Structure 1
Amino acid sequence: MKFILDENPTLLSSYIGYTDGKFHQVIACRGNSHVLKTYDAPDNAAYIDRIITPGEDGVRRQTWRFLASDLGVLSTRTEADAAYDPRQRPWYLDAEKSKRSVYTAPYVFSSSRLPGITCARVLADGGGVFGVDVSLSQLGELLARQRVTPHGTLWIVDEASRLVAVPGQAWERLIDDRLQLPLASDATDPVVRLATLAAVSDGDGPRAPRVADIDGAPYLATLTPMADDHGLHFRVIVAAPLEDVTGHITDMALRIVLLAAVILGLAVPLAMHLARRVARPVRLLCEEAGKIQRFDFSASPAIQSHVSEMQALATACEVMKTTIRARTESLLDTQATLEKLVAGGMALSAEKDMARLVTLIFQTAKELAGADGGVLYLMEGEELEVELLSLHAESLVLGGLSENPAPRVKVRPEIMPFLQPHSVLRHACEALRTRKASTTRDEGLSLFPTGLPEEPKNYRIASLITAPLVTRRDEVLGVIQLFNPQISHAEDADDGAPGQGLGFIGSLAAQAAVALDNHHLVLSLRDLFDALIQVIASSIDAKSPYTAGHCTRVPVLTEMLARAVHETTDGPLGEFYIATDDEWRQLWIASWLHDCGKVTTPEYVVDKATKLETIYNRINEIRMRFEVLRRDAEISYLRNSGHGQVAPKELEQEFAEEIRRLHADFEFVAACNVGGEFLSDGDKTRLEQIAGRQWMRYFNDRVGLSEEELGRKAREAEPELPTPETLLADKPEHVVPRMRAYPNLVDAHGNPVQVPENEYNRGELYNLRIARGTLTPEERFKINEHMLNGLEMLQKIPFPEQLGRVTEIATGHHETLIGTGYPLKKTKEQLPVEARIMAIADIFEALTAADRPYKKAKTLSEALGIMSRMRNNKHIDPDIFDIFLKSGVFSAYAEAHLAASQRDVTDIGPYLSQPDACEKN
Structure 2
Amino acid sequence: MKKTRAGVGLQWLVASSIVLCLLVMMSITVWQGYRSSSALLIAAANDSAQQLGVLLNERAERLLDPAEGALRILSFDPLVQAQTLEQRLERLPVMTETLRSNRTLSAVYAGYANGDFFLLRRTREGAQLGERVMPEAVAFLVQSVEQGVAEGEVAGRWLIYDAEGKQLENWPQPDYQFNPRTRPWYQDAIARPGLILTDPYVFFTTNEVGISMATHGAQGGVIGLDASVNDLGGEVSDLRLTPGTEIALLSGKDEVIAYTDLQKVFRRDVDGVSLASLGELDVPILEQVRKLPEPPRKPQLLSYQGEDWYVLNLSLGKIGESEGYILIAMPAAELLAGVRDTLRKQTRWVLVLTAVLLLIGWALGQRLGRPLKLLADQVEQLASFDFTTPIGVHSRISEVNDLSKVVARMAKAIGNFQTITITLSQERQLERMLDVVLEQLIKIAGGRGGAVYLCDEDAGILRRAGVSHSEHYPENMPLTDDLREAPARSLAALLDDEHRYLTLALRDRQEVLLGVLAVEVSPLLPNESVRSLRRFLGSLAGTLAVAIETRQLFADQQVLLESIIRLLAAAIDAKSPYTGGHCDRVPQLAEMLLEQAQATEQGPLADFQLTDEERYAFRIAAWLHDCGKITSPEYIVDKATKLENYTTEFTRYVPVLKCFGAMLMCVTGRGWQQVRRLMN
State if a TM-score over 0.5 links the two structures.
Answer: no
TM-score norm. by structure 2 comes to 0.36
TM-score norm. by structure 1 comes to 0.27
**Greater helix proportion:** 2
Return the structure number with greater relative CO, CA threshold 8 A, min gap 6: 2
